[in-house]
């Protein structure tokens, strides 16, 4: 058998909150990350928004989701929702 020497790179996985579900099959995900200031040692919270593909339109605003990197799907979308971790409470 011929052995495949090319290996697929690990996909990046992030967790975030769905901020907007107004678009069809697209969700805006806000991902927070916590870091410590180098000099003052104060904890800082930074967030970034990602556009993610949601094929079945399952996620709603306020849901905690896991997104994985993928090939470019549009001008802004480079992520897709892999699973919904926690549904938003009403």
Strands 13-20 vs 26-36: parallel, antiparallel or unpaired: antiparallel
DSSP 24: T
* Residue 38 in domain: yes
Question: Could you give the number of structural domains in the chain?
Answer: 1
Predicted confidence at residue 4, as pLDDT, reads 63
What's the pTM value of the predicted model, to 2 decimals? 0.84
Give the tens place of pLDDT for each residue, 21-78.
999 999 999 999 999 999 999 999 999 999 999 999 999 999 999 999 999 999 999 9
* Residue 7 belongs to some domain of the structure: no
What is the widest separation between alpha-carbon atoms in the chain? Answer: 58
Instruction: Please check whether residue 79 lies inside any domain of the structure.
Output: yes
Is pLDDT above 80 for 3? no
Question: Within a domain: residue 4?
Answer: no
pLDDT at 1 over 60: no
The answer as to whether 66 is a domain residue is yes
Name the pLDDT band for 7 (thresholds 50, 70, 90). Answer: confident
Asked whether residue 3 is domain-assigned, the answer is no
User: Measured in Å, how far apart are the chain's first and last C-alpha atoms?
Assistant: 55
Q: Is residue 1 part of a domain?
A: no
DSSP state of 10: P
Q: What is the CATH number of the domain that holds 19?
A: 2.40.50.140
Specify the pLDDT at position 68.
98
**Structural domain of residue 79, as residue ranges?**
13-86
In a domain, 6, yes or no: no
Q: List, as own/partner pairs, every contact residues 48-51 make where C-beta atoms lie below 8 angstroms and the sequence separation is at least 24, other chains included.
A: 49/19, 50/14, 50/16, 50/78, 50/79, 51/26, 51/27, 51/76, 51/77, 51/78, 51/79
């Amino acid at each position: 058998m011929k052995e495949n020497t090319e290996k697929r790179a690990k996909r990046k996985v992030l967790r975030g909150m769905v901020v907007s579900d107004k678009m069809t099959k697209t969700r805006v995900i806000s991902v927070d990350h916590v870091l410590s200031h180098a000099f003052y040692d104060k904890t800082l919270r930074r967030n970034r928004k990602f556009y993610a593909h949601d094929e079945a339109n399952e996620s709603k605003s306020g849901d905690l989701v896991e997104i994985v990197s993928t090939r470019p799907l549009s001008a802004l979308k480079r992520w897709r929702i892999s699973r919904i971790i926690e549904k938003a409470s009403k």
